[in-house]
Every structure is written in structure tokens, then in C-alpha cells.
Amino acid sequence: MPDQKSNPYLLSRDIAPVLYNIELEPDLENFTFKGNEYISIQAPRPFSKIELHALEITVTRACLVRGPLDSGSRLEAHHVTYNEKRETVILDFGETLKPGQYPTLYLEFSGVLNDKMHGFYRTSYEVAGQKKWGAATQFEATDARRAFPCWDEPARKARFKISLKVPRHLTALSNMPVIEEGFLPATALKRLVFDITPVMSTYLVAFVVAELEYIEAQDKNGVGVRIYTTPGKKEQGRFALGVALHTLPYFADWFGIPYSLPKCDMAALPDFASGAMENWGLVTYRETALLVDPVNSSAAARQRVAEVVAHELAHQWFGNLVTMKWWTDLWLNEGFASYMGPKAVAHQFPEWEVWSQYIGHEFLGALHADSLRNTHAIEIDVQNPHEIREIFDSITYAKGSVVNRMLEHYLGEEAFREGLNLYLKRFEYGNASTQDLWHALEEVSGKPVKAIMASYTRQGGYPVISVSEGKNQNTPSLILEQKRFLFDGSGDKKNPHWKIPVGVAASGLKKPIYRLMQKRKETVALPTRPNKWLKLNPGSSGFFRTAYSPKLFSNLLEAMSRGILAPEESLGVLDDAFALVRAGHLRTSAGLSLLESLDKETDYNLWAGISGSVGSLEMLFGSTHSALGTKISAFGRELFSPIAKKLGWNAKASDTHLDILLRSLVLANMGAFDDRDTIEEARLRFNQFIKTDQMPPDLRGAVYSIVARHGGAKEFDRLLNVYTSAGLQEEKVRVLRAMTRFRTPELVRRAHRFALSGEVRAQDTFIILAGLGSNAFAREANWKFVKSNWSTLVDRFAGGL
């Protein structure tokens, strides 16, 4: 745990908050709020000042009560000053006070209901065509201080009793159930008091105030679950409710610890900064991450909802019950939720093949992010809010998740689960560090967890293992050599190395053999000479890439073209090959012939990998080298034609979930490779849709994008129309994505203007900017746009930071 010496931003330990009794009254007309709080504190040492976090808050009164509230003497703060850089307010009492318990530090304050989706913020929704306002909170990582003065650090846990004064017709929610409710006489307000919370971190406190409706059910352990939405949408919460009813008991059972709170609310908010937030007992979501429309939602959207719900519910244990000591260990929250989430989803929806999808998204996503020179270690020193915000990235999430999976494979599921249970029990309602977790896992497994894991969490990057056959004909062996892998093709002067659990699968071996590689170069004896092929890292459980000797590589290619490897194994080989191409270690033609060996495959995950690999070439050559771009498109068409023909446009009764995902992926690719028939059919279906409003939701994303890529102003207008008339946020997002596919400068400008217009919520602007960045015809203009509108963008998104 860092102290004030190593991190000057931390608050002094001279005062400890024990219980906050907070009352807030939002003003939904003027977008401000008033509040007061009674904090009981403990002072281990004498003090004369109290410094606590507060940001964009004005403290109008501060006093300390010595002794019981009604009879004790009150000491008003002499001076109240603010430290902007430290985001604090300092209360100076003008005399030295004795150590001990102070039941009441009383504060009155006011603040703003901002439009930045951080702290206590406003959100708008429509009821019967009328714009209405509500208020919600987003405190992680460091924005509780925008709602009430507090010790806003994860290790300063306390209990919270929240009261809200709100207009009578609105619903108000917080972490705990309401225990008292009454109208305030001579006002249009009511006052709600919520039950006192268990000991918890400030970033997990939450409240929501708006016109809301809900559906509800109890899980099998009797926990009440509700899905809240703005009016007219509650039925769209049905799917998420089903996921929560499965997932809460699943985790209670897996962790061996019941869910801690009396209820679990999940609310869909129209304005939301990220995807979702795990506030204890009141999980908040962006609408697309919680709502599913039975008629208009795609299979991909349902899957996304299940994933997000499972991730946030995993946090109710990992993060909420046991919290990282400091943000340096943020991965203990996010890496674990990102690993536990898929477990629950795989259990509920086995037909989705979540773990195969995981390799494409999480595993390869982590390798990609960690191939950049500017990557960082999972455990990284962060001191202030700017630095903290930066690490909510794919290193913390995806690499954090993937190294957990590697560890579970190495220890076995039972030891892993027992270790986690020990850790959660040991630190429940408290805080823990990465070391604490390794200790628990070592205790249970007796294996050198810390030594292995430190090489993945304490240094950035990862190794590529070069593998070739040993020379000695009589004793078959492999020569392995590890080096850091970087996309830019360079090396790392520090010559770091990793402790790698290496698996080897080969023809002639019944089971893969495993070996812990500790040195930079090692020889591994093989029981028999692989007569046909050999592959490292079966199941992609190890966090490394493989560079095969030319002979081993061509053997592997040959095996792949005969369909001997499982699709997710081929996916690993494919991604490694294209990464090596990108780094200049392998010829592009070798990557292309690998692609050709896969043309008979029918697996969604593999095709997603193929799409990404060809896409990376298209990104490089798409517009600037147009002659080459045309050739790449032709290559892509040829590659994708057989699978496109096989799947066709229309859903079949025999389609699996993955077939459905595959169809839209393949069509989108054929469109992007300028395939005439595909473009024709997409146009036809789009025109039909404009007339009849009928199109299967699984085709819409691909169709809109193809029509846009090959369309002009007329198509833009029509898409705009779809956007405006859609009630479902998912549909709006599909249109926004498609709007980034136009290729003429004028339509790119229109997309830009639209991005900053009042018609797009601030939460969605990035969809357009990120999309245009991946459009070879718009990228330059997009970069110029971002630069020349920088101050507007900062004002809109930087949350006043």
C-alpha cells in the first residue's frame, strides 16, 4: 500500500471515516444539488485540521461535535479552504484536538448536477414525446468527491446511510433498500431513507433518481433482483433478469460465499460513460448493455448483455466484498471480473462456445495491446485521477483476465477456486493486494505462484518463443528460445524473460506435454518424434506467441489445410503468423498462404481471425496504395466466397448462435471487399426495409454498413431517418456505425457534424470518431477533425478534469 511519502496525493491517515450519514437533494430544473452529511470519524492522533476530498463542491458549513450530537459542544471550522490540485477541502478548526472518536463531523454543501457522466450527473429521457431529466451517479474511480466530501480512496472503507429528497413522482434508488419514506409537508418532495450499507469503498456508492419502472424476481437463494428502466422499456429487461437469476447463485456457489446485500437492482440509464458499473446492490448500465428487444435485437447484442451482466455481478464479490488496496491493483477487480464473467455465461449458454470466442477477443486482444512499445505492466504505480483513469484499458482487463486463465490451467480448477475462496474469506469487507492473492493461491496449491506471475504482472510485454527441432536424431527434442515480442520488430535492450508454462501438442502424442520454461533458452525432450506436425500452446492458455522454424511451420500448415487442428488452435497459429508479418519477422506471402489453407473452415471464431488479418492489410493499403488495395479486395472476395455461399443470406432452422454471428461477419466482409452481388442484395434488402420496416436484426449491421460504403447522400438521409425513428438504442448504434462507412469527403463531413450535434448523446460520439478512424477513406479527415475540434472534445468528455 503506498503511503503519503510515495504518493503525495493520498489523504492523511490521521482521521478515519467510520460512518457517513448523507442527505442529498437534487434540483432537476437548475441542475444543482444541496447536501449535508454527518460523518463519524476516528482520530488516532491529535489534529487541528481535517482534509477530505471534494471537487466542484462548495462547503457552506463545517463543524465538529465533541461528545453526543445533542449535548456535545460544537466547534465550527475557522477556515474552509480548497486545494484544487489535490481535489480536497481543508477544514481548519484553529486548535489542537484530542485523539479519539468523534461521532459527528457535520458538513453542509452544494454542487452541480453536471452533464459529464461523472460524479452526480444529469440524464435525459423522453416520456410521451416530452424531454425529462433525472440524475444518476458514476463514482469510479475518483468522482464520489463530486457528490459529497469524503475520503475518496478505495482503502478508506466505511458504512453509508443515504437519504434523498426528490420530487414525489420520481423513483429514487441507492445501494440498499428503502427503510423510511414520507412526503415532506408544504413541498412537492418526498424523503427516502435507505438502509445502512456494510463497510464499503466510496467508489461503489450510488444513487439514481428518475421516472422508472421495473420487473422483478427472486433468485434461488431468495435475493430480490429488479431491472429498472425509463418508462416503456421494462420488458426489454427480461433477458437480463434471466441472466442475473442464473448468475448470482452461480457465483455464490462458485465463490462459496453468499451475495452480501438484501437486494440487487440493475438500472439502464440513457446517459452512461462506460458500459456498466458494479455499484454494490445498484448496478448501472448503458441501455445497450442491459436491454434486449425480442424483435429488434441481434444475437450479438444478447450476448453482449449476458457478458456485461455477468462481469458486473462477478464484481459483487471481486471488487465490492474484497477491494484492491490501491488502484495499482485495479486488475484484481477488472481482470477477475473479466475472467469470472465468461465462466458464468458459458455455464448458462453452453451453445455460445464462450471460451472459443474468448480466445479471439480476450486472449488475442491482450496480446495485441501488449505488443506495443507503450504498453505497461499490469501492476503499475498510479498516483492521481488522470493516471488512474488511464489504466481502465485492455492491459488491465484483457491481459488481467488472460493471465488468470493461464494460472488456472497451471494450478487446476480446484486449487484455483480454493485459493480464491481463501482470499475472499480472508479479506472480506476489507482490502487486498496482488501479493495477498498470490499467498492464498500458494498456500492452497504449494506451487510457486508468485514467482511465475510476477513476470506477467510486474513487467510489460510478453515473449515470443522460437521453436526448432533438436539436432540429435536419437533423442527427439525441441529447442525453445524466448524473447520479448514487439509489433515494431525491434527488441528490448533489457532482455527481459518470463516463466512460461509451455504446452506442446503433436501428432503421435495422446496428450500435450507441459513444461515450465524458466530460462531464456531451453531444450525439451520429446517422448517420440512428431511424425507429422507439432504445435505449442494448445488451448492458447499460455501468454506468449510462437515462431516456428520453416520446417515446423510448413508441417503445421499442411496439418491445418487437412483440418486436423481445432479451429481455435488454427486461430492462434494465424494470429501469431500475422503478428510476425507485422513485425517483419515473417514474409507477408507466408501469412497469405496460411489464409488459403483455411478456406474450408466454417468456424465463426476462426473467420473473425481471418477477417482481422485481412483487415489489417486493408488498413495499411486500403486507400493510399489503391492498386494494392484493389488486389487485397480481390483476394478477400476469393477467400470469403465459399463460406458466403454456404451460409447465404437467410437464417436456417439449423443455425447455431455462432452461425448467426458468422453470417453477418461474412456478409460485412464481402461488402467491404466490394463484392457486387453482396452489394446488390444489401441494397435490395435495405430498400425493402425502408418500405416495410422488416429486416432480421442479425443482418442489419452488415446491411447498413454495406449500403453506406457504397452509397451517397440519399443513403445517408435514409440512415438518418432510421436513426431518428428508432426507439431502441441498439438500433441507433448500428446506424452510427454505418454512418462512418461513407467514402466521399462531403459525407464524412456530415458524419462529423452529426457526431457533435444534439441528436447524438455525448456517450455515443466516440462511435462515430472511432469508426471514421478505421475507414481508410476518412482517416485523414478524421484526424484533422479531432485536432481542430480538440477543445470542444475536451470540454465534452474530459469531465472537467
Active-site residues, by number, are 312
Distance, CA of 238 to CA of 212 (rounded, Å): 15
CB of 183 to ligand BES, least distance (A): 35
The grid coordinates of residue 404 equal 488468470
Q: With CB cut-offs between 5 and 8 Å by kind, which of Zn ion, ligand BES, none does residue 739 bind?
A: none
Contact status: 464 vs Zn ion (CB under 5 A): no
> Which stretch in 124-132, 307-315, 435-443, 704-712 sits in contact with ligand BES by CB under 6 A?
307-315
Asked if 745 and 712 touch (Cβ cutoff 8 Å), the reply is no
Asked if 613 and 591 touch (Cβ cutoff 8 Å), the reply is yes
Q: With CB cut-offs between 5 and 8 Å by kind, which of Zn ion, ligand BES, none does residue 277 bind?
A: ligand BES
Query: Locate cell 500452446: which residue?
Result: 537
Contact status: 311 vs ligand BES (CB under 6 A): yes
Contact status: 698 vs ligand BES (CB under 6 A): no
Nearest CB to ligand BES, comparing residues 323 and 338? 338
DSSP annotation of 511:
S
The grid coordinates of residue 252 equal 455464490
> Which stretch in 334-342, 348-356, 533-541, 687-695 sits in contact with ligand BES by CB under 6 A?
334-342
- DSSP secondary structure letters along 126-143: EETTEEEEEEEEE-TTTT
Nearest CB to ligand BES, comparing residues 21 and 396? 396
Q: With CB cut-offs between 5 and 8 Å by kind, which of ligand BES, Zn ion, none does residue 140 bind?
A: ligand BES
Residues 325-364, one symbol each (x = binds Zn ion by CB under 5 A, - = not), give ---------x--x---------------------------
Four-point Cα dihedral 752, 753, 754, 759, nearest 10 = 140
Binding-site member from 153, 287, 307, 576 for ligand BES (CB under 6 A): 307
Nearest CB to ligand BES, comparing residues 146 and 545? 146
User: Residues 493, 496, 501, CA angle at the centre, nearest 5°?
Assistant: 150
Distance, CA of 279 to CA of 264 (rounded, Å): 10
Q: 604 exposed, middle or buried (CB, 10 Å; 0-12, 13-18, 19+)?
A: buried
- DSSP secondary structure letters along 542-599: SS-EEEE-HHHHHHHHHHHHTT-S-HHHHHHHHHHHHHHHHTTSS-HHHHHHHHHTTT
Distance, CA of 507 to CA of 51 (rounded, Å): 66
Asked if 17 and 153 touch (Cβ cutoff 8 Å), the reply is no
Nearest CB to Zn ion, comparing residues 207 and 331? 331
CB of 65 to ligand BES, least distance (A): 35
Give me the phi and psi of 722, to 5 degrees please.
-60, -45
Residues within window 122-141 making contact with ligand BES, judged by CB under 6 A: 140-141
> Bridge partners of 159?
19
Q: 411 exposed, middle or buried (CB, 10 Å; 0-12, 13-18, 19+)?
A: buried
Q: Which of 282, 179, 185, 294 is nearest to 239 (CA)?
A: 294
Distance, CA of 482 to CA of 495 (rounded, Å): 10
CB of 767 to ligand BES, least distance (A): 13
Q: 44 exposed, middle or buried (CB, 10 Å; 0-12, 13-18, 19+)?
A: exposed
Nearest CB to ligand BES, comparing residues 296 and 338? 338
Contact status: 393 vs ligand BES (CB under 6 A): no
CB of 333 to Zn ion, least distance (A): 6
Nearest CB to ligand BES, comparing residues 341 and 711? 341
Nearest CB to ligand BES, comparing residues 291 and 526? 291
> Which stretch in 303-311, 439-447, 518-526, 727-735 sits in contact with ligand BES by CB under 6 A?
303-311
222: left (phi over 0), alpha (psi -120 to 50) or beta: left
CB of 274 to Zn ion, least distance (A): 9
Total chain residues near ligand BES (CB under 6 A): 17
CB of 311 to ligand BES, least distance (A): 4
CB of 303 to ligand BES, least distance (A): 11
DSSP annotation of 522:
E
Distance, CA of 86 to CA of 143 (rounded, Å): 13
Contact status: 312 vs ligand BES (CB under 6 A): yes
Contact status: 23 vs ligand BES (CB under 6 A): no
Nearest CB to Zn ion, comparing residues 334 and 698? 334
The grid coordinates of residue 177 equal 433498500
Binding-site member from 23, 51, 334, 730 for ligand BES (CB under 6 A): 334
> Bridge partners of 464?
483, 545
Nearest CB to ligand BES, comparing residues 307 and 618? 307
CB of 417 to Zn ion, least distance (A): 20
> Which stretch in 276-284, 501-509, 627-635, 744-752 sits in contact with ligand BES by CB under 6 A?
276-284
Q: Quote the distance between the C-alpha of residue 469 and its chain's center.
A: 41
The grid coordinates of residue 661 equal 454471428
Binding-site member from 2, 198, 275, 512 for ligand BES (CB under 6 A): 275
H or E element that contains 782: helix 779-788
Residues within window 724-753 making contact with ligand BES, judged by CB under 6 A: none
User: Residues 118, 770, 119, CA angle at the centre, nearest 5°?
Assistant: 0
Contact status: 656 vs ligand BES (CB under 6 A): no
Q: Give me the residues that bind Zn ion (CB under 5 A), please.
A: 334, 337
Q: Give me the residues that bind ligand BES (CB under 6 A), please.
A: 140-141, 274-278, 307-308, 311-312, 315, 334, 337-338, 392, 397
